[in-house]
Structure 1
């Protein structure tokens, strides 16, 4: 289905930001990018999704492989009452009895948290079969590169690719352009500076290969 994603500001990365911009998606592919009026006028039959804030490319998390395989995300509700919200690493993780099934369930919860931070790709490799299966089912891409295996030290630590002041351009999976895969993220902030200041926990929507896979309620 042809869908137009419109936002107050579209930041393609590699091109100038577009105020009151839009991205048209057909299936898994970006087919147009520009001011909303122009994109919508050329596609009057398209479904329109309007989002608050800033629309960017989907993000890449270089700590994703570590979080998926070497951190534990407690089940909520239930485990999180006793263990805290996680992620658990180091000595806290060593105290748990980690079976492959338990790692797979943790990875499934981790993928949902990553998607809720606008992440569409992680840096691998992934060596645990149950984790690879969870990632494959979620649709996250797994790439090479230099993985960051520093342990998480607080609740939610490591989920935000922009933590530590990383520039947006350094953590996108790929820039938005006509012909690129439709991996998008939308954040309820007024501009890129505010996104870097407030972080990717402001994510309101994530689109992965044209599919809306996260929408903040």
Structure 2
């Protein structure tokens, strides 16, 4: 079934201008068309329509995925009173005990947090643990060989430090390519960069709605 994802503003990437009232038509796992909503609705009158508030972009690229999953503990919501909700790193991991039986649950929750931040793709070096690669792919993420982000502590928000949204996306929208999208409850690109990817309200990976915040 063909689905049209529509928002107040579409940022298609690839140097293209923003599209007010833009939309993306998705057929199965790929992009069938994108542009002004009115044109897509007229071309595909039988399509299901999903409307999202704010800005619709290509899916974001997480360059710290392996480090986040290996070096952080993502608390269970039931642990929020004692451990909080932010990922734990460094010495805070010592409180989890001498073994790593906690790791599987943390990885699962960490991947969900990435999806909640509009992430649809992640980089991983050839030396990354195969189990992590498998977990990322099962969550819906596209795993690429692009360079991981060098530097300091890993960041959950792919938009952190980005000057433009395009810098943080995996690829611009293109007909026939994998349908990876993220919707954010902000009015424009400047507001999105200021608010960060935590403003995400929906993530679509390979045409599948993998996160919906409302």
Q: Deviations over 1:169-213 (max 9, x none)?
A: 111111112112100000011111110011111101000000011
Q: Which residue of 2 aligns with 1:119?
A: 119
Per-residue deviation, 1:29: 0.7
Counterpart secondary structure, 1:81: helix
Within the alignment, does 1:33 sit opposite 2:34 as a pair? Answer: yes
Aligned length: 211
SS at match of 2:35: strand
Local SS of the residue matching 1:55 = strand
Residue of structure 1 aligned with 2:174, choices 165, 174, 177: 177
> TM-score normalized by structure 2?
0.92
Question: For the residues of structure 2 that align with 1:80 and 1:159, how far apart are their CA atoms?
Answer: 18
Mapped to 1, the partners of 2:162 and 2:45 lie a distance apart of 40
Correspondences of 1:34-73 after superposition (within 5 Å): 34-73=35-74
RMSD across aligned C-alpha pairs, in angstroms?
Answer: 1.7
Q: TM-score, normalised by structure 1?
A: 0.90
Provide, for residues 113-172 of structure 1, a one-character-per-residue CA deviation record: whole Å limited to 9, x for no partner.
1101100111213734543332222011222233236325xxxxx221111244211111
Instruction: Please show how residues 48-197 of structure 1 align to structure 2 within 5 Å.
Output: 48-77=49-78, 79-97=79-97, 99-125=99-125, 127-148=128-149, 150-151=152-153, 158-197=155-194
Q: Is the 8 A contact 2:66 2:128 kept in 1?
A: no
- Specify whether residues 111 and 181 from structure 1 end up closer, same or farther in structure 2 by C-alpha distance, changes over 3 A only: same
Secondary structure of 2:5 counterpart:
strand
Q: Secondary structure at the match of 1:175?
A: coil
* Post-superposition offset of 1:99: 4.4
Give 1:13's aligned residue. 13
